[in-house]
Structure 1
């Protein structure tokens, strides 16, 4: 299992790098909203840096699929948070973003939660039987919950609502990926092509991940990456953690200390998300974009 969790860490690094590349173009690209959704997405795809970031993310996602096929989805989800710390550091060093004390506390809670999780690995994991009906119901309830912040004007204006919904979408994509691998393994002698086209979770993970990318890129227009990405990332990991226990029968470690550290890691993730969602600061003005606006 350590091998596949290590693969998950590499995946998280690549996905964070891809998001950093995409965030660096947020001031230069249009927002995908209303009647301009298709046009905005086309503009994103034509931007070399943005499409390069998407390519790096795709490689990271492929490694994530490998990791989640052999390790419990809740464990892989929390290991993926290592990319959040890397993204934050790069945002400060490369993009010139800054965080206040409250925001650093949230970011630190995520990193410390990852350390607690690592210390609990020696206790091992157990998985139960996958329940498709439970996953469907869990997904529907989460979709409704993720849409709720969109009705709050302050969260919409700050970009937090889009970041929250993107985290829910990415998290559901992670659960659908796990379900897809379960179905593939159980597919037996059927051809790979047939197993792909007949697997409903393939379409679910495609829709969820595309929605997550669009929503996160939109949140980058209104929020600093140092806030939007950790908020989205924390939620994208909470969803598989909860879904892994509810729909896949994953259980806590048998040892009391390891179990306590695992629960503590989950709680810290939730607390960190709450701290980051309360941020009201806007992203710093991009000097190149500002100069272009003045000249025009």
Structure 2
């Protein structure tokens, strides 16, 4: 179990690095919206730094698949919160964005939550039966919740609506990944045929593409130190809740490990709220962008 949770940490770090690479290009690439969506995405793909970041994210996702195939998705999601902390630190150091005391408290809450989770291992955690119909209803409900902020003009303008929807999409992608690993397990027939006929494979691809597009759009309007925590917190909270509702994941049998696990889940939610609550504005001259400008001149 510990090996696969360590794999989840590696996946989280790689995904954070990939997103950082993509964020550095947000001021140079167009926003994907309306009739401009396809041409904007093509421009992203043709950008070496952006596509490189996507490649790093893909490697991180592969590590995530390995982790979630052997560990409860809710636990993997909590470990994934470490990527938010790494991204916030990188945003301050590399992008020149400022961190408030509130945001540093959020980072500390994430680290402490991961420590509680690690200490809760070995407490007899179990998984129940997977309910496909429940996953379908859970997906429909969260999609409606994710669309609601887009009806608020202020949230659209600030990039918060796009960040929220991206987090929900990534979170659902995590649940679809768990369902995919369960569907593809075993030796019943050809693996290639099972992959082609598995609906969760296409759901994973669609959810992650939507998540990437929406998060990149959010990067155009908001600071990375806000957009990533808001998206990342939701992308991890969704599998935590969904793991219990859809996959019947249970708390450890012992009272102390169970309390530490609940504490880790609670800190995940609190940390996401703290990191997403800052109202500081996007720097007018981030370190990376400023450096590029000086090189060109």
Shared fold, TM over 0.5: yes
2:250 maps to which residue? 251
Contact 2:81 2:268 in 1 (8 A): no
Q: What does residue 212 of structure 1 align with?
A: 211
Cα distance, 1:153–1:273 mapped onto 2, change above 3 Å: farther
Indicate the residue corresponding to 1:27 in structure 2: 27
The alpha-carbon deviation at position 290 of structure 1 amounts to 11
- SS of the residue 2:167 aligns to: helix
The Cα RMSD (Å) is: 1.8
The alignment status of 1:153 with 2:115, answered yes or no, reads no
CA distance in 2, matches of 1:276, 1:201: 32
Aligned to 2:57: 57
**Segment drifting more, 143-152 vs 104-113:** 104-113
User: 1:19-59 deviations in whole A, cap 9, x for unaligned?
Assistant: 11001111111111121111111110010000000000000
Alignment of 1:90-239 (within 5 A): 90-186=90-186, 188-239=187-238
Does the Cα contact within 8 Å between 1:72 and 1:127 map onto a contact in 2?
yes
Paired residue for 1:3?
3
> Is 1:240 aligned to residue 239 of structure 2?
yes
**How many Å separate the matches in 1 of 2:16 and 2:291?**
26
Deviations 1:66-122 (A, max 9, x none): 111111111111111111111111111111111222233333322222222111113
Change (3 A) 1:59 1:19: same
Residues paired across the two proteins, number: 292
Q: Who is 2:70 aligned against?
A: 70
* TM, length-normalised to structure 1: 0.94
CA distance in 2: counterparts of 1:289 and 1:41, whole angstroms:
24
SS in 1 for 2:96: coil
| Contact 1:158 1:280 (C-alpha < 8 Å) held by counterparts | no
Which whole-Å CA distance do the structure 2 matches of 1:169 and 1:35 have between them? 22
Shift in CA distance, 82/124, structure 1 to aligned 2, threshold 3 Å: farther
Which moved further from structure 2: 25-34 or 260-269? 260-269
CA–CA distance in 2 between the matches of 1:109 and 1:33? 35
Gapped regions of structure 1 (runs ≥ 5): none
- Distance, in Å, in 2 between the alignment partners of 1:110 and 1:148 is 27
Select between 127-136 and 154-163 the one with higher mean Cα deviation: 154-163
Return 5+ residue gaps in structure 2 as ranges: none
Q: Which shows bigger deviation, 25-34 or 173-182? A: 25-34
